[in-house]
Structure 1
Amino acid sequence: MFVTTERLTLRRFRPEDAAAFSAYRSVPEVARYQSWDAPFSLEKATAAARRFGEGDPLAAGWFQYAIDLDGELIGDIGLNLHENLMQAEIGFTLAPAYQGKGYATEAVRGLLNHLFVERNLHRVSAECDARNLASAALLRRLGFRDEGLRLSNTWFKGEWTDDLFFGLLRSDWT
C-alpha cells in the first residue's frame, strides 16, 4: 500500500513527524502557494499528523503521504482520490533543505507508478499557481500535459492568481 523508491519511503504520518512538519510548513516560501499560512504551529502540526496517520489511502478523498528519507520527514504528498476510485489529484510539498536534489521528483514518480501500475488508476491531475515555476517544471518533467491556464481564476491570500492545470493518463505513463 505504501511506496518505496531508491532513496525514499512514502508512508503514513506518525506523531513524531509533528516537529519537522511544523518546521517546513512554517517557512514563508514553502507556504506561499499552499492552502496554509506560515507559521504553522506545532499544535496544528501535531493534530494534522495524527489525523493524516489515521487516513485511508484507498478511500475516496484526501490522504496525505509522508515523504521519509532515512527515517526523517522531509515533505508530503497529498492524494485526493475521486469517488470513482479511478482518478486522483495530487499536490506536494518539500522542506527547503531537500529541494533541488531530486527528492520531490522521485517521490511523485514513485507515487504515480504506484497509482498507475499497482492501483490501475486511469488519470492523475494537478494544479498550481502559475508563478510556482518549480512545481510546474516537476509536473512537466514527469510527463504531465499542460491542460490549461485560467487567468485570475482564484482569490488566494488576498490576490487574484492565475492557475495552471495538468493531467497525466495511465496510457501515457506505461
Structure 2
Amino acid sequence: MFVRTERLTLRRFTPADAEAFAAYRSDAEVARYQSWDPPLPLADAQRKVEQFGQDDPAAPGWFQYAMDLDGVLIGDLGLNLDENLMQAELGFTLAPAYQGQGYATEAVRGLLDDVFIERKLHRVSAECDARNTASARLLERVGFKQEGLRLSHSFHKGEWTDDRLFGLLRTDYLS
C-alpha cells in the first residue's frame, strides 16, 4: 500500500532503510517527546524495519509507513487502526534535516486523504506532549481539533507530562 504526494511516497519499510531510521531515531531532540530513548542501535533498527515491512496496513494495530523523498528515508508515520476498522490513531516522526520544509504536513495530509477518501475511515485521533508545539501546530494545520488536555497524565522519561488530545472526523476533513 503506497501513498503518493507531490514530493513524497509513503511506503513499506525495506532493509535498506535501517541506517537512516537508526540515525534520526537516535537524535535526542527527535526522541524527546516520543516513546523511545536514544540511541537506537543499528541492529535494533534492522529488526524494527524488518518487522515494519511485514506488517499489514489493513489489519488492526500499528502500521509504520516509511516517508520517502526521492529514495531517501526522511521520517515515518504510524497509523494505529482500531479493531472496528473505522477509526485510527496517528503518529509521526521526521529527521531533523527535513523539518521546517512542509514534509511532515504533506505526509500527514497524504495519509489522511488515503484513510478518509480511499478507506473511508470515520475518525482519526492523535495526541502529543503539551510542550510539543510543533506537532500540535501540524495537527491543527491539517484540520485536527484539540478535544482535550489531560493534566499530568503521562509519566514520560522521568517526569509527569500533560497530554493534548486531538481528533478529526471524516466529514470535517472532506468539507
Both structures adopt the same fold (TM-score exceeding 0.5): yes
Letter of the structure 1 residue corresponding to residue 165 of structure 2: F
Letter of the structure 2 residue corresponding to residue 46 of structure 1: Q
Inter-partner Cα distance in structure 2 for 1:6 and 1:124: 22
CA distances 1:89-117 after superposition (whole Å, capped 9, x unpaired): 00000000000000000000000000000
Indicate the residue corresponding to 2:61 in structure 1.
61
SS in 1 for 2:10: strand
Inter-partner Cα distance in structure 1 for 2:72 and 2:84: 33
RMSD: 0.4
Indicate the residue corresponding to 2:148 in structure 1.
148
Which residues of 2 match residues 1-174 of structure 1 at below 5 A?
Answer: 1-174=1-174
Inter-partner Cα distance in structure 2 for 1:114 and 1:78: 13
Inter-partner Cα distance in structure 2 for 1:2 and 1:19: 22
- The CA deviation at 1:5 is 0.2
Q: TM-score, normalised by structure 2?
A: 0.99
Letter of the structure 2 residue corresponding to residue 95 of structure 1: A
Which blocks of at least 5 consecutive residues in structure 1 are unaligned?
Answer: none
Runs of 4+ in structure 1 off by over 6 angstroms are: none
Inter-partner Cα distance in structure 2 for 1:148 and 1:41: 36
Q: TM-score, normalised by structure 1?
A: 0.99
Which blocks of at least 5 consecutive residues in structure 2 are unaligned?
Answer: none
Q: Sequence identity, in percent?
A: 72
Letter of the structure 2 residue corresponding to residue 58 of structure 1: A
SS in 2 for 1:39: coil
Equivalences, count: 174
Inter-partner Cα distance in structure 2 for 1:131 and 1:104: 18
